[in-house]
C-alpha cells in the first residue's frame, strides 16, 4: 500500500491518500488537538510523521500475519499428533 499526502495551499489542511485513490482517506484541517497549523511546514511534518507511523503499522501487521500462520501450523500439527 502506498500512502501520499497533499497540503492545501490556502488552509494548510493535510490530505492523506492511500494507493491510487483520488479522494483523500484522511482530511486533517488542523492539529489533532484542534490547534491550527503554524504553517505549511508544520502540516507537512505532521503528514510525514503520520505516513511513517502507518508504514510501521503495516510492517507490524505483516509480521503478525506470519506469526498467526506459524501458530496455525503448530496447532494443526499438534492436533494431528494427539
Q: Which strand (E) or helix (H) includes residue 41? A: helix 40-81
List % helix, strand, coil for the chain (3-state, nearest 5): 50, 15, 35
Cα radius of gyration rounded to whole Å, the chain = 20
What's the pTM?
A: 0.79
Domain extent for 29: 3-81
- How many domains does the chain contain in total? 1
List pLDDT tens digits, range 38-55. Answer: 999 999 999 999 999 999
Cβ-contact 53, 24 below 8 angstroms? no
* Cβ neighbours of residue 64 closer than 8 Å, sequence gap 6 or more: none
Q: Which tens digit of pLDDT belongs to each residue from 14-73? A: 999 999 999 999 999 999 999 999 999 999 999 999 999 999 999 999 999 999 999 999
Amino acid at each position: 500500500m502506498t500512502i501520499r499526502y497533499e497540503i492545501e495551499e490556502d488552509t494548510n489542511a493535510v490530505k492523506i491518500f492511500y494507493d491510487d485513490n483520488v479522494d483523500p482517506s484522511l482530511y486533517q484541517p488542523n492539529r489533532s488537538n484542534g490547534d491550527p497549523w503554524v504553517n505549511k511546514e508544520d502540516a507537512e511534518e505532521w503528514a510525514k510523521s503520520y505516513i511513517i507511523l502507518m508504514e510501521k503499522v503495516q510492517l507490524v501487521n505483516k509480521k503478525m500475519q506470519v506469526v498467526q500462520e506459524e501458530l496455525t501450523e503448530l496447532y494443526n500439527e499438534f492436533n494431528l499428533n494427539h
